[in-house]
Amino acid sequence: MEHLEDHERREVWNKVKDALDHDHIDQFRAEFLELHPYDQAEIFVGLDTEVRMQIYTYLSPEEIADVMEHIDYDEIEPFFTEMDPRFAAQVFAEMSTDDAVDIFNELEKDKVASFLTIMDDEAAQEIKDLLHYEEKTAGSIMTTEFVVVKATMTIRQAMVHLRTEAPDAETIYYTYVIDEDKRLVGVISLRDLIVSEEDWLIADVMSERVVSVSVGDDQEEVARMVRDYDFLALPVVDFQEHLLGIITVDDIMDVMEEEASDDYSKLAGIADVDSPDENAFASAKKRLPWLVILLFLGSLTASLIGRFEETLSVYPILAVFIPLIAGMAGNTGTQALAVAVRGIATGEIDKQGKAKMMFREAGTGVITGVSCGVIITLIVYFWQGNFFLGVLVGLSILMTLIVATLAGSLVPLIMHRFDIDPAVASGPFITTINDIISILIYFGMATAFMNLLI
């Protein structure tokens, strides 16, 4: 189930290729345009430059725009560079404004300026307006191709209007109702429109309690809302309730994917887990930053242990449990971190209250600490026959788990408090902090009670 099955794609491709080779423009158009734009894009990106140059002459800017909307933003730049600039500008004008803006954000500033100059004024203005919004806000993902009606229209009038607007609109399944000042006053779904009598008024059928988001709202919150309410689109308004744009569910799915991949990358301590790596250098470049930071933090841990060299030279057996204790601290911290980061992301923590959460985490640390502490005390006692060593390791695990659990949840909460994305407190960072704490606890206790150790 690879969308178009691979053999199907090859089959279609053979026909398309044949048409291109023989300059059969009609045959090419018939075969290619029958495909879903996603499949068109999948074929298109695999072609040689000359073949693509031929296709630009066979398809209209509007048809190329459909293809471009289904190519990843980070791969798209070469295609717009190889096109005739005037043609490229027309393609931009035909794209959904939100998609065009996403691409413009990837291009160099002077290229953006030159495209905007060639484009017709209206399309250029729409794109310029959207370029202003900050990344990851509702404004940055909304589109301006929406359909509006007046409350005083009849259903019949609204349907006529809808049919005219349909070809350019991003969605026609929700129609928004605005007043004279362009303020959002209602919404009506196409479902409601088609089951209503033709001479009823929009005002009588529309829903007045329309859920909207502000243009500056965070895209993650917008996504949560669409998911909770099962909306297909959501209107975006300014502080005076003027309707500025809409966000459709297909864009929300992209946001969800982006946010999930972002959280995942940060937990793994890697710059961007999802864009495919071309070669080992690209891949090392994404991983090295964290590794080098960890190398220095690790050297700090090493120098801390160095201070206990005397204790170590008397009791080299102490070294044996270093990875166990540091490992448990790191893992339990990552668990607590993951719970806190997700709790903040889903809004669950705001509902429950932070104090309650910290209290619960402390309890969790005590329970896991006591359980693991008792187990390891027994293991060490039976293995080494040294009861005090067992108690020392067990108590260290107990204290470590409590402190590491609290650290794992406190750090993201504090970051959230200061409006820093809590996911920045990535897994490796918390792990290393907890390594250090656990080593201090372990050797501190060992040094203090050294004379009991023998």
Cβ contact 163:193 at 8 Å: no
In terms of CB distance, is 202 or 328 closer to a second copy?
328
In terms of CB distance, is 211 or 452 closer to a second copy?
211
Q: At what angle do helices 85-94 and 61-68 cross, to 10 degrees?
A: 70
10 contacts a second copy (rule: CB under 8 A): no
In terms of CB distance, is 148 or 297 closer to a second copy?
297
CB of 268 to a second copy, least distance (A): 3
Q: How many residues bind a second copy (CB under 8 A)?
A: 122
CB of 117 to a second copy, least distance (A): 31
Which of 54, 60, 157, 265 is in the footprint of a second copy by CB under 8 A? 265
Interface characters, 402-441, with a second copy (x: CB under 8 A): -------------------------xx--xx--x---x--
Using CB under 8 A as the binding rule, the residues of this chain from 89 to 128 that contact a second copy are none
Q: Which residues pair with 183 in a beta bridge?
A: 242
In terms of CB distance, is 35 or 93 closer to a second copy?
35
CB of 37 to a second copy, least distance (A): 8
Using CB under 8 A as the binding rule, the residues of this chain from 271 to 290 that contact a second copy are 273-274, 276-277, 279-281, 283-284, 287-288, 290
Rounded to an integer, what distance in angstroms lies between the CA atom of residue 370 and that of residue 243?
57
379 contacts a second copy (rule: CB under 8 A): yes
175 contacts a second copy (rule: CB under 8 A): no
Burial of 145 (0-12, 13-18, 19+ CB in 10 A): middle
In terms of CB distance, is 71 or 116 closer to a second copy?
71
Closest CA to 153 of 171, 174, 178, 173: 178
260 contacts a second copy (rule: CB under 8 A): yes
In terms of CB distance, is 70 or 111 closer to a second copy?
70
161 contacts a second copy (rule: CB under 8 A): no
Part in contact with a second copy (CB under 8 A); list of ranges 18-26, 234-242, 359-367, 414-422: 359-367
253 contacts a second copy (rule: CB under 8 A): yes
Which of 303, 419, 451, 454 is in the footprint of a second copy by CB under 8 A? 303
295 contacts a second copy (rule: CB under 8 A): yes
Interface characters, 309-328, with a second copy (x: CB under 8 A): x--xx--xxxxxxxxx-xxx
Using CB under 8 A as the binding rule, the residues of this chain from 139 to 158 that contact a second copy are none
371 contacts a second copy (rule: CB under 8 A): yes
225 contacts a second copy (rule: CB under 8 A): yes
Which of 27, 114, 157, 335 is in the footprint of a second copy by CB under 8 A? 335
Name every residue whose Cβ is closer than 8 Å to that of residue 335 and which is 6 or more positions away in sequence: 405, 408
256 contacts a second copy (rule: CB under 8 A): yes
Which of 45, 203, 362, 445 is in the footprint of a second copy by CB under 8 A? 362
444 contacts a second copy (rule: CB under 8 A): no
305 contacts a second copy (rule: CB under 8 A): yes
Which of 119, 155, 213, 392 is in the footprint of a second copy by CB under 8 A? 213
Q: How many CB atoms lie within 10 A of CB 435?
A: 26
352 contacts a second copy (rule: CB under 8 A): yes
Q: What is the 3-state secondary structure (H, E, C) of the chain?
A: CCCCCHHHHHHHHHHHHHHHHCCCHHHHHHHHHCCCHHHHHHHHCCCCHHHHHHHHHHCCHHHHHHHHCCCCHHHCHHHHHHCCHHHHHHHHHHCCHHHHHHHHCCCCHHHHHHHHHHCCHHHHHHHHHHHCCCCCEHHHHCECCCCEEECCCEHHHHHHHHHHHCCCCCCCCEEEEECCCCEEEEEEEHHHHHHCCCCCEHHHHCECCCCCEECCCEHHHHHHHHHHHCCCEEEEECCCCEEEEEEEHHHHHHHHHHHHHHHHHHHHCCCCCCCCCCCHHHHHHHHHHHHHHHHHHHHHHHHHHHCCHHHHHHCHHHHHHHHHHHHHHHHHHHHHHHHHHHHHHHCHHHHHCHHHHHHHHHHHHHHHHHHHHHHHHHHHHHHHCCHHHHHHHHHHHHHHHHHHHHHHHHHHHHHHHCCCCHHHCCHHHHHHHHHHHHHHHHHHHHHHCHHHCC
CB of 106 to a second copy, least distance (A): 20
CB of 89 to a second copy, least distance (A): 24
CB of 180 to a second copy, least distance (A): 25
Using CB under 8 A as the binding rule, the residues of this chain from 30 to 59 that contact a second copy are 34-36, 38
